[in-house]
Amino acid sequence: MNKHQHEILIIGAGIAGLSAALEACYGGEVAVISKVFPIRSHSVAAQGGTAAALGNMEEDHWEWHFYDTVKGSDFLGDQDAQAIFCYDAIKMAYYLEHLGVPFSRNENGKILQRYFGGHYSQFGQGPPVRRACVAADRIGQAMLHTLFGECLRRKIKFYNEFLVTHLLFHKDGCCGCIAWDLVKGEIHIFHAKLILLATGGYARLFQFSTNSAINTGDGLGMILNAGLPLEDLEFIQFHPTGLYPWGFLMSEAVRGEGGYLLNQAGERFMERYAPTKMELAPRDVVARAIQMEIELSGNPYVYLDLRHLSEDFIQERLPQVKEMAFKFAGINIKKELIPVAPAAHYTMGGIPVNIDGEVLADGKKEAMPGLFAAGECACISIHGANRLGTNSTMECAVFGHRAGKKMASLVKKTNYLPLPKEQISLALEEINHLFVQPPKISIAELRQQLQVSMMQNCGILRDQSRLKKQLIIIQDLKEVYKKIGLKGIPRTFNLAFEEVWELRNMLNIAEAVVISALAREESRGAHYRIDFPKRDDKNWLKHTLIWKKEDKLNLDYKPVVITQFPPSERFF
């Protein structure tokens, strides 16, 4: 058995994990575990920019960003966290720039900022402001590579291509984890004082998604298995325009620059759904409109039309979209229409944490000693029911940084707790069991059944009957899963093992998502119920908590933190 001891252990090496590592290392010794090589993390795919009210282009204030984030969240975000986020984002943008992020520049040599959906001045009353800090259309790669380089400078220890399978708990707190070395096919035990989960979101639950193959919610799955709560899982953002049939992101900028949406009959159908804002209505509104057109026509996509834009203009403003449409779909966007459909993009729900990233054992107040979470896997909650574009990369940086700082301050006062022998042997049994059963069930088929059915029954448009149906489907799939085996498949770089483990997490999370969505009888942000089409602040201005006890999922709720902006109706 391979054993390791590290004072601070970070699981996940995206923007959140690396930001945390860079702060935590001031207080103690840090190791990072990642199931891929760090710069392959999904953060690398972020395009548009990262939010901070720098005011480099015109007047802007963090308070305006704060209001936009609150309204964007459909008033389900916690305003204490949202205020900290918008205030800290400014410092964090400068910090990232100092580390070397190759931001694009404006005429004055400052960080270039661009317009993005939902960024306004004067507390939503004034004209749009340019708040998204830009590195061409590669903000994720620019941030991730820079943070990784800095980690190399500080000689932070990395365990690459290690899949964490179990968290380990002593009665007094979290004390370690078990990980599977994908390359060698061996089990490793990690003993730590403090652990941070930065394992990303779960939008891979859906067949049609902008997400990397690895976004399977591993951290959330482990939290659920540990009997700890998850928060607001029902809120899943669909980006309106994913390139059909893969789901690759066709940036919002396409519509910003004058692209149209057309249905199968060639109509600009948005005039029926959002007559004044048309294609530039908020993401949830456009995604729903597209989905309705898809269900009406029976054709799985609508079209983006850029044919009326000049060649030079497209080359200057939308080179990446042009390249992707050509590379993947073989489409010349000057002459042909781009097939698009809404794609699962971002998961607002996650592990409940306080503003320092401490995981809340009861989902409300009480922190679980030794355990932290940050980034998309965490729910602080700043995005509430709907996330504004460019707030996600900055969330990872701001709250990764805060959690790292908190861990640095705690680590010397914290002792190693004894490792739980019984949990370890149960976990090893679970893993070994997979290598005893023969491989009779197709992993890919099972995963596809889950993803397709989630898309159909728990996607953009939801209702009671479809959600109930989906719950039964998931329970059936969980039964099938029990028959999965890997006997005879060599252990060296056994990709099938990784997929089996991810699928286990996906099935568990999917069940929790559906139960949370079934219970919330209202429509708010990304959660839209056909049978309850109105937002219901009287009954549902609250966060969902869900946790597993003796194999049964239980629901509870907690109030939304409102400090400054009382809920009001959203008009578009």
**Residues recognised as catalytic:** 283
Q: How far is the CB of 186 from another protein (least distance, A)?
A: 12
Looking at beta carbons only, is 14 or 369 nearer to another protein?
14
CA distance 550 to 456: 29
Selected range binding another protein among 146-154, 167-175, 386-394, 505-513, rule: CB under 8 A? 146-154
How many other β-carbons are positioned within 10 Å of the β-carbon of residue 172? 11
Task: Tell whether residue 443 is a contact of another protein (CB under 8 A).
Answer: yes
Q: How far is the CB of 40 from another protein (least distance, A)?
A: 4
Task: Tell whether residue 124 is a contact of another protein (CB under 8 A).
Answer: no
Mark 205-244 with x for binding to another protein (rule: CB under 8 A) and - for no binding.
-------xxx------------------------------
Q: How far is the CB of 535 from another protein (least distance, A)?
A: 35
Phi then psi dihedrals of residue 125, to 5 deg: -95, -25
Looking at beta carbons only, is 308 or 440 nearer to another protein?
440
The 10 Å CB-count burial string (b at 16+, else e) for 419-458 is bbeebbeebbeebeebeeeebeeebeebbebbbebbbebb
CA distance 495 to 509: 21
Task: Tell whether residue 496 is a contact of another protein (CB under 8 A).
Answer: yes
Query: Could you give the 3-state DSSP secondary structure of residue 193?
Result: strand
Per CB under 8 A, the list member of 187, 367, 489, 555 interacting with another protein is 489
Instruction: Give the CA radius of gyration of the chain.
Output: 23
Dihedral of the alpha carbons of 551, 557, 563, 567, in degrees to the nearest 10: 120
Task: Tell whether residue 439 is a contact of another protein (CB under 8 A).
Answer: yes
The answer to whether residues 110 and 130 touch, using CB atoms and an 8 Å cutoff, is no
Per CB under 8 A, the list member of 2, 58, 100, 564 interacting with another protein is 100
Task: Tell whether residue 327 is a contact of another protein (CB under 8 A).
Answer: yes
Task: Tell whether residue 94 is a contact of another protein (CB under 8 A).
Answer: yes
Straight-line distance from the first to the last Cα atom of the chain, in angstroms, rounded to the nearest whole number: 59
CA distance 38 to 45: 13
Selected range binding another protein among 58-66, 136-144, 166-174, 306-314, rule: CB under 8 A? 136-144
| Alpha helices, DSSP H, located in 411-481 | 421-434, 443-457, 464-481
Task: Tell whether residue 329 is a contact of another protein (CB under 8 A).
Answer: yes
Task: Tell whether residue 442 is a contact of another protein (CB under 8 A).
Answer: yes
Per CB under 8 A, the list member of 4, 61, 63, 104 interacting with another protein is 104
Please state the length of the chain: 572
Mark 284-323 with x for binding to another protein (rule: CB under 8 A) and - for no binding.
----------------------------------------
65: left (phi over 0), alpha (psi -120 to 50) or beta: alpha
The answer to whether residues 103 and 135 touch, using CB atoms and an 8 Å cutoff, is yes
Task: Tell whether residue 150 is a contact of another protein (CB under 8 A).
Answer: yes
Instruction: Name residue 237's amino acid.
Output: Q
Q: How far is the CB of 493 from another protein (least distance, A)?
A: 4
Question: Which helix (H) or strand (E) segment is 219 a member of?
Answer: helix 218-225
Contact positions vs another protein (CB under 8 A): 36-37, 39-40, 42, 44-45, 54, 93-94, 97-100, 102-105, 107-111, 138, 140-142, 145-146, 148-150, 152-153, 183, 212-214, 245-246, 248-249, 324, 327-330, 439, 442-445, 486, 489-496, 499
